[in-house]
Amino acid sequence: YMYTGEFCDGTWGVLLQQDAKRDFIMGQEIESIGIKTNHMHCVLELDIEIKLPNGNKIKPTLLQYDVESPYRICDAPFMERENIQAEVRKWEQVNEWGYEKYHMIAANVLIHNLRILHDNNILHNAIHEQNYTWALELLDFELACSLNHPYTKEDDQRHAKDLFAREIIQTYVIINYIAGVLREEPDFKAIDSLFKEFGFDLKQYAVNIT
């Protein structure tokens, strides 16, 4: 475990109980609205006490769940190409749109997920390559919030509405990352059109350069 101090009692390698509970509850809510994700089992506080440099003592918590794929998108540099290809070939089962490039299959799933989240006023607040598996399962909800489970701090809740738009860009980054890993040339025009089809018009975020 590594304690760097910037997150109060938050410690690298340790999941705090309040974070595990939010992850568990939000994960169940997100699964219930039709997004492919991990299936939660339980939250267990471990009988281990850790003394932090700030004098506080914490007990780490185990969040147990199962997933279809054990590999995160960000694991690609550490995976054999055969493993990646085996995972990606499974996407053909959901390729009802007839895409020839795999990153476009992923784009449809990821953008559709974002539409479902935002239509249900759910902010994931950590959409990146580390929180999607190669089965396109969305994970890690300890920073997420919804109308049913808002943030407990007034300042966090006040700023939550301002964070939705950036998830559009974060989703785009994952799509580009997948295309790069698969050595596919990104079809930016098709991706932009797909975002617009799901109600995310990227032009409204464009800025003029003078």
16 or 138, which is more confident?
138
pLDDT per position as a tens digit, 113-131: 999 999 999 999 999 999 9
pLDDT for position 194: 97
- Segments of 93-203 assigned E as strands: none
In contact, 9 and 56? CB cutoff 8 Å: yes
pLDDT for position 84: 98
Band the pLDDT of 36: cuts 50, 70, 90. very high
Band the pLDDT of 163: cuts 50, 70, 90. very high
Distance (Å) of CA 77 to CA 1, 126, 129, 180: 24, 21, 12, 11
**Per-residue pLDDT at 104 exceeds 80:** yes
> What's the whole-number average pLDDT of the chain?
94
Determine the Cα–Cα distance for residues 130 and 138; give it in Å rounded to an integer: 9
Radius of gyration of the chain (CA): 19
pTM of the entire predicted model: 0.92
Tokens of 93: 């089962």
DSSP 51: E
pLDDT per position as a tens digit, 54-66: 999 999 999 999 9
Amino acid in the structure at residue 26: M
